A and B are shown apart, each in its own frame.
Chain A
Amino acid sequence: MAVLLIAEHNNKELRPFTLNAATAASQIDTEVHALIIGHNSADAAKQLSELPIIKKVLTVEAAHYENFTAENFTPVIVKLAENYSHIVCSANTFGKNLMPRIAAHLDTSQVSDIIKVISPDTFLRPIYAGNAFATIKSNDAKKCVTIRPTSFDPCESTGGSASIEKIEAGEEFLNTKFIKREEIKSDRPELGTARIVVSGGRGMQSGDNFKLITEVADKLGAAIGASRAAVDAGYISNDHQVGQTGKVVVPDLYIAIGISGAIQHLAGMKESKIIVAINKDGEAPIFSVADYGLEADLFEAIPQFMEELNKLNTIQK
């Protein structure tokens, strides 16, 4: 039996992590079908059909799918599930909201947020904010699995030509109504996929001071992250939060400025390739994961950092 990948998209195009989830799906079984549920999402479906890993695309279209409400998506997926051994999806807020609803209907114990496929029924996943890794074997006939996208490379996005099959829409769930979505638009790279992330913590002391982080990020073509303390203090909006309950990032370079490094923050960034910590407290736990630590007052260090960057002839973007 094949694997069914639930695509994440915005009705116009695929969300990039769908490509990472597709890679994980293909490691479970080479027969990967992808399901796209949406409204006027034909372009995204076409994009999906071009992923060489995908053998077949299923599309379900209706107005009540426009806002990805789990209560509307679930019956469609549960019905299709009889043809599949695994249902998989990215473990971001879309998949985290949706997959357990499907799993409960299928009477399956879900395996959340896997970072490695060991075999079709055995997976590696972080527990305790990534302070331990558990190897989990699922004995359920059907397996519901969510995938930590940053732990898998994105698949090839062109060259495929999977068939696209239309599936009948399900009924609308009337007790949940979408009102609005406030997306924060930015010209910067997305936090989840950026090559460089510059993050600020409580040490920034104010939202105004966060413009220092912005300057560094602009100079490096980086995304902006933040600790939960900085978000809770109102310095920056929640979509920038990196950590156990925020986003998990794995950039080539993570620069933590004024972040002490609570366990919950480290959970979201310690797999980064190179970590830089700038903090005036030499005992701060962030230094235990930093490749390069600079013990300094950030309000002196950031202007100097900008000066040194300006001296460089070239900066990789």
Chain B
Amino acid sequence: MKILVAVKRVIDYNVQIRVKEDNSGIVTDNVKMSTNPPDDNAIEEAVKIKESGKATEVVAITVGEEKAQETVRKALAVGADRGIHVKAEGILEPLAVSKILQKIVEKEKPDLVFMGKQAIDDDCNQTGQMLSALLNWPQATFASKIDVKDNKLEVTREIDEGLETIEINVPAIVTCDLRLNEPRYASLPNIMKAKKKPIEEMAASDLGVDVSPRLEQLKVEEPPKRKAGIKVANVAELVQKLKNEAKVI
């Protein structure tokens, strides 16, 4: 079984983002970037499946600017076998990314495609579902547990009401929740080894996909600030404030 894992480069989850003064977007210059957190879970799961002998190859792919390749290199350092970097500039909407991934799937013919359930920058939560629509494959979104059984997967999904278990036939798409596993850290020897693993480069235009945005981002602004609160001295004061000032209990 061959697993393709899509990873995205985003502003690191620990960074407090800043809105550009002209309201055209978010400041990304000189900001720490890293792999979208649930994409790390997707890589980890694919590598674990390979280590268990149920997969033969793990291919990491990213779509984005020059530096996005760092995320593929990181995936190679934790166990992916080779990488693909589809180069594209500017804002890439999930629809465009899923069309690119579709072209890559047609070429690579993986049995499974994994990715994070949501990117923490645009918070869209769309790409996996869109890709499975384009391929007419089953989709297991928000996965917190995956059991590989021959040509089927049993997947536990995190839903609002609790947990749901579904069985999907391969080929299939799985989008991964943060609870799926604990991603490993890359060891120094593996980081060195990853430098020798191949990354195939191509341009989005080579694939014949139109990536121009359909949505116009008219403005990005800071959310309204909460008015500053107060510290109370003790529990009695807290309860009195809630009762008589805020009137919520």
Contact = CB atoms under 8 A, between A and B. Distances in A.
A132 B94 contact: no
Contact of A94 (B19, B137, B160): B160
A80 interface: no
A244 B129 contact: no
Given A96-B141, A111-B215, A292-B242, A103 B95 contact: yes
B133 interface: yes
B188 interface: no
Contacts of B130: 100-101, 103-104
Given A127-B123, A129-B123, A287 B137 contact: no
Contacts of B217: 134-136
B208 interface: no
Interface residues of B, number: 80
Interface string A263-300: 11000001001111000001000010111111110000
Interface string B174-216: 0001110000000000000000000000000000000001111
Contact of B223 (A130, A245, A276, A287): A130
Given A181-B161, A183-B162, A274 B223 contact: no
Interface stretch (B49-57, B67-75, B103-111, B233-241): B233-241
Contacts of A138: 214-215
B223 A132 contact: yes
B219 A104 contact: no
Size bracket, chain A contacts: 35 or more
Interface string B116-156: 01101111111111111110011101101000000000100
B154 A179 contact: yes
A263 B161 contact: no
Interface stretch (B1-9, B58-66, B78-86, B164-172): B164-172
Contact of A137 (B16, B161, B216): B216
A97 B231 contact: no
B222 interface: yes
B160 A184 contact: no
Contacts, number: 259
Interface in B216-249: 216-223, 226, 229-232, 234-236, 238-239, 241-243, 246, 248-249
Interface in A68-124: 69-71, 74, 92-94, 96-105, 107-113, 122
Contacts of A112: 123-126
B3 to A, nearest CB: 18
Given A135-B218, A184-B161, A292 B223 contact: no
Interface in A152-195: 173-184, 192
A140 B164 CA distance: 33
A218 interface: no
Contacts of A292: 229-232, 238, 241-242, 246
Nearest to B227: A291
Given A238-B163, A309-B249, 9 more contacts: A67-B164, A99-B129, A100-B125, A103-B95, A112-B123, A176-B166, A181-B161, A245-B178, A287-B231
Sorted nearest first, the 8 A-B pairs with minimum C-beta distance are A100-B129, A109-B214, A104-B133, A104-B130, A100-B126, A308-B239, A304-B235, A291-B229
